[in-house]
Amino acid sequence: MKTAVITGSASGIGAAVQRQFVEAGMNVIGVDIARADVCADLSSAAGREAAVDTVLARSGGVIDTLVCCAGLGPQAEPATLVASVNYFGTLALLDGLFEALKRGNQPSAVAVSSNSAVLQPWAGHPLHDAYLEDDEARVHALVEASPADQAGYAAYASSKHALAVAVRRRAASWGHAGVRLNAVAPGAVQTPLLEAGLRDARYGEAIRQFVPPVGRRAEPDEIASLIRYVCGEQAGFIHGSVLFIDGGHDASVRPDAF
């Protein structure tokens, strides 16, 4: 039986991935801040270390599949938490469980980014550089310096962009080690996280207007189905990719950039 680790397993996309993996007969270790097999706060270095250590103990140091879904939306307060969980928390799990993945059977990992990651030009931006230099304190300072009504969105979009870049930067080393690594970039998905954003006075209207060409939001199971496919043996040549699943939103906003 294959072992899968899923962060953010208590709700939304993570819960849908866990359900589909269990139905496929996998042994699943869920990680979340509560209501999970491994309860840990990925916003802190101590919480990340505890999560990695506990997962390694529960898995016996062998993992076949890792899916990093844990994340916060732009409405989370303080906004620095968004950057800490979405980027630094995800990278800590990816890198901390890499050796266990190397011992797995046809191992693969997926990190959940967002189509919001490409809606601003991040190349050369101080936030972009701070993430990729692994400088969490500097990221926090830059987020805190943003206008109050924009800090959450800046933290969200920049963290998801930096995460996608980090995945692609690992493609060579992970591929040579026999571990496939990809990112998926969903658009608006009908989750508790999105519902919380809709209730936020700062970001609710922008989220309501964020409607893709297909005219609806995705269901969590639709995103989970792509993740399940990308993690599977039939997707053995998909590696180092950022796969958009956003109802055509990215294509409509920037049709000539891909």
Q: Which domain holds residue 102?
A: 3-247
Report yes or no on 256 lying in a domain.
Answer: no
Residue 115 has pLDDT above 80, yes or no: yes
Percent of the residues in the chain that have a pLDDT greater than 70, as a whole number: 100
Q: How confident is the prediction for the chain on average, in pLDDT?
A: 94
* pLDDT average, residue stretch 8-34: 97
For the chain, the domain total comes to: 1
pLDDT score of 148:
85
Distance (Å, rounded) from C-alpha 66 to C-alpha 80?
A: 25
Centroid of chain to Cα 91: 9
pLDDT score of 190:
82
Q: Which residues contact 154 (CB under 8 A, 6 or more apart)?
A: 79, 127, 143, 146
Burial of 121 (0-12, 13-18, 19+ CB in 10 A): exposed
Report yes or no on 101 lying in a domain.
Answer: yes
pLDDT score of 210:
77
b/e map of 91-102 (b: 16 or more CB within 10 Å)? Answer: bbbbebbbebbe
What is the reported pTM?
A: 0.94
pLDDT score of 40:
98
* pLDDT average, residue stretch 153-179: 96
Query: Residue 211 — pLDDT band, cuts 50, 70, 90?
Result: confident
pLDDT score of 51:
98
Distance (Å, rounded) from C-alpha 186 to C-alpha 222?
A: 10
Lowest mean pLDDT among 76-85, 117-126, 155-164, 249-258: 117-126
Distance (Å, rounded) from C-alpha 87 to C-alpha 42?
A: 10
- Type and span of the H or E element at 160: helix 151-169
Active site residues: 156
Query: Residue 192 — pLDDT band, cuts 50, 70, 90?
Result: confident
Report yes or no on 135 lying in a domain.
Answer: yes
* pLDDT average, residue stretch 57-65: 98
Residue 196 has pLDDT above 80, yes or no: no
Report yes or no on 191 lying in a domain.
Answer: yes
pLDDT score of 201:
76
Nearest residue to 242 via CA among 150, 106, 118: 118
Task: Give tens-digit pLDDT for 116-154.
Answer: 888 878 888 899 999 999 999 999 999 999 998 889 989
Query: Residue 45 — pLDDT band, cuts 50, 70, 90?
Result: very high
Residue 208 has pLDDT above 90, yes or no: no
Query: Residue 62 — pLDDT band, cuts 50, 70, 90?
Result: very high
CATH number, domain with residue 101: 3.40.50.720
Report yes or no on 65 lying in a domain.
Answer: yes
Residue 200 has pLDDT above 80, yes or no: no
Report yes or no on 31 lying in a domain.
Answer: yes
pLDDT score of 222:
97
Report yes or no on 47 lying in a domain.
Answer: yes
